[in-house]
Amino acid sequence: MAESSERHFFFCFSSWIRQGLFLVLRDFQGLTQIIIPQDEAHSHVKKLLSSAPVESVVRVTGIVALRPPGQENPKMPTGDIEVKVETAEVLNTCKKLPFEIKDFVKKSEALRMQYRYLDLRSVQLQYNLRLRSQIVMKMREYLCHLHGFVDVETPTLFKRTPGGAKEFLVPSREPGKFYSLPQSPQQFKQLLMVGGLDRYFQVARCYRDEGSRPDRQPEFTQIDVEMSFVDQGGIQRLIEGLLQHCWPEEKGPITTPFPSMTYEEALADYGTDKPDTRFGMKIMDISDFTRNLGIPFVQNVLGCPHGTVKAIWIPQGMRYLKNKDIESLKEAARSQFNQEIVDIVCKPDGSLKSLLTRFLSQEQQSELTQVLKMQEDDVVLLAAGEHKRVCSALGSLRLASANLLEAAGLVLRDPAAFHFLWVVDFFFFLESAHHPFTAPHPSDMGLLYSDPTKVRSQHYDLVLNGNEIGGGSIRIHNAELQRFVLEKVLKEDSEVLSHLLDALEFGAPPHGGIALGLDRLISLIVGAPSIRDVIAFPKSFRGRDLMGSAPDYVTPEELEPYHIQVSWPVAEAEAKKN
């Protein structure tokens, strides 16, 4: 609300720092230094401003002036000016704050959630929410103005989807009947394509009831896109353009097209379908090299189907990691993946220390050093076993070691870097379980009925810095194929989706789309540790609103119109007793 002119200045907002002569006022544009008049004529102004508690809302008028030479503050955007107050009014006072509204004060999150409206005044949250608004607006402009998309709102009160165990229920006034809050507008966006709204998008509120999970929210937002007559590349180019268009200038440019990797490559090189490509330490396959070393357990593994020997290299591991770090990495692989890990250390004299060395000649040891490109103080973690398990375990250790190295002071990942990546060619059979509408790869159609496990899908994931920020697919537009997938591949009752199958029979155009997780995307852009930092009123990790105490108890009378009653766990126990 700053309306500045050469002569007069009108300013309204919470004040927060006071000294004898100065007052700093804050509004959404930043901070402004106010000179409190010391003369007798303004004594009431001085008294009023001096007695207003911190974070009160005040209105002042005065004259904007340049600060005296030498008193400029180059760190403040308004550091060149100050305001000489003429009149002042306290519009509302502030009682004692539960915590100071400064960024470096990190009070317990529960307290900050309880007083979320105070936390929202912090520079960081103001920045996050205002930037979020700007980014979404630019996305809309790109989709509407540059690409002819239509913003269509789809219902959130719908029916339960098959297997929709994570969907919230909403009791209706019809006895026994419930609405369901959908996890995405998937069915509606496809029905819009059938309905000839050929380019649809929505900033869609979605719901997912996962109970207590860290950094998940029961309601979240996705940028939901669907278009007709498009292929995989078409959606990918569209989304690359979208991100380029909305990308904040201060975060530096992003280059397109984004690199692309098949699911199998991602698994082999990074042990995950969402590789963090900001740093190396890729998984090395040393099966061929180790095959002829005569190590018994290696021989065994390589003799099995999908048997493999792989390793990751931890640069300067001995300098940055402690022995207990390496032990904990090995223990994690054991407990999470049931995978034994062998560590190899390169000693200062260039020789190797590992339980493998006893199987190896001196010559074999130096060959191994060369193959692994190990230098003094490097550590290698080696795993032998079934391909997918080995890759997954090493992929997990790769991230864990990177975190340990960075915690110890080595910079592996540029915090200002944004590495986008498409992951493609997922396996149709695995994919259909989550995305039953995904179309198989056209060149694999022949395999669908003969060898379905080999069929690739037209699904694609978008990954940013190792986080999945979006996923989509070209959809099945043929009713017969969709029915086959539901009934024969997924063994589902297709009756519950009869309206969609029906719709495909009425001349559905070929179509495909994608959904981007907006909360995650924004949190990565602003560098926030949690998606809670980019949501105005987030729930706690247990799904609670700590400010308004939701969810909350209701009276039995309030449940009556919905024909439901609470099954109290205690009552259940008592019922069993009788």
Distance, CA of 540 to CA of 331 (rounded, Å): 31
As measured in angstroms, the least distance from the Cβ of 561 to a copy of itself is 8
Closer to a copy of itself at the Cβ: 40 or 558?
558
Closer to a copy of itself at the Cβ: 199 or 435?
199
Distance, CA of 523 to CA of 221 (rounded, Å): 13
As measured in angstroms, the least distance from the Cβ of 236 to a copy of itself is 18
Identify the helix (H) or strand (E) that includes residue 65. Answer: strand 57-66
Closer to a copy of itself at the Cβ: 10 or 247?
10
As measured in angstroms, the least distance from the Cβ of 408 to a copy of itself is 38
Residue 384 has phi, psi (to 5 degrees) of: -125, 135
Closer to a copy of itself at the Cβ: 410 or 547?
547
Q: In terms of C-beta density within 10 A (0-12 exposed, 13-18 middle, 19 or more buried), how is residue 341 classed?
A: buried
Closer to a copy of itself at the Cβ: 163 or 252?
163
Distance, CA of 472 to CA of 392 (rounded, Å): 23
As measured in angstroms, the least distance from the Cβ of 190 to a copy of itself is 9
As measured in angstroms, the least distance from the Cβ of 221 to a copy of itself is 6
In order, the DSSP letters of 134-156 are HHHHHHHHIIIIIT--EE----S
As measured in angstroms, the least distance from the Cβ of 97 to a copy of itself is 7
Determine the 3-state secondary structure of 386 from DSSP: strand
Within 10 angstroms of residue 163's Cβ, the number of other Cβ atoms is: 13
As measured in angstroms, the least distance from the Cβ of 134 to a copy of itself is 8
| Edge-to-edge strand ranges of the sheet holding 467-474 | 150-151, 199-207, 219-228, 511-517, 467-474, 459-464, 420-424, 260-262
As measured in angstroms, the least distance from the Cβ of 29 to a copy of itself is 10
Q: Which residues of 189-205 are buried (b: 16+ CB within 10 A; e: fewer)?
A: bbbbbbeebbbbbbbbe
Closer to a copy of itself at the Cβ: 335 or 555?
555
Closer to a copy of itself at the Cβ: 212 or 300?
212
Distance, CA of 511 to CA of 438 (rounded, Å): 10
Determine the 3-state secondary structure of 530 from DSSP: coil
Distance, CA of 14 to CA of 60 (rounded, Å): 11
As measured in angstroms, the least distance from the Cβ of 212 to a copy of itself is 9
Q: Which residues contact 491 (CB under 8 A, 6 or more apart)?
A: none
Closer to a copy of itself at the Cβ: 155 or 350?
155
As measured in angstroms, the least distance from the Cβ of 49 to a copy of itself is 14
Going by DSSP bridges, is the β-strand pair 379-386/352-353 parallel, antiparallel, or unpaired? unpaired
Contact 25, 13 (CB under 8 A): yes
Q: Which residues contact 347 (CB under 8 A, 6 or more apart)?
A: 353, 376
As measured in angstroms, the least distance from the Cβ of 230 to a copy of itself is 9
Closer to a copy of itself at the Cβ: 7 or 173?
173
Closer to a copy of itself at the Cβ: 441 or 477?
477
As measured in angstroms, the least distance from the Cβ of 390 to a copy of itself is 36
User: Tokens 């500045």 label which residue?
Assistant: 4
Closer to a copy of itself at the Cβ: 66 or 550?
550
* Alpha-carbon 34 to chain mean position: 41
Token pair in block for residue 406: 């960075």
Task: Please list the residues that pair with 475 across neighbouring strands.
Answer: 438
Distance, CA of 252 to CA of 311 (rounded, Å): 35
Closer to a copy of itself at the Cβ: 229 or 327?
229
Distance, CA of 262 to CA of 367 (rounded, Å): 31
Going from the C-alpha of 330 to that of each of 59, 255, 403, 414, the distances in angstroms are: 62, 38, 15, 27
In order, the DSSP letters of 185-210 are SHHHHHHHHHTT--EEEEEEEEE---
As measured in angstroms, the least distance from the Cβ of 223 to a copy of itself is 12
Closest CA to 372 of 350, 401, 404, 341: 350
As measured in angstroms, the least distance from the Cβ of 237 to a copy of itself is 15
Closer to a copy of itself at the Cβ: 66 or 137?
137
Task: State yes or no: cis peptide before 551, omega within 30 of 0.
Answer: yes
As measured in angstroms, the least distance from the Cβ of 41 to a copy of itself is 27
Token pair in block for residue 15: 């004040």
Distance, CA of 341 to CA of 344 (rounded, Å): 10
Closer to a copy of itself at the Cβ: 227 or 356?
227
Closer to a copy of itself at the Cβ: 301 or 516?
516
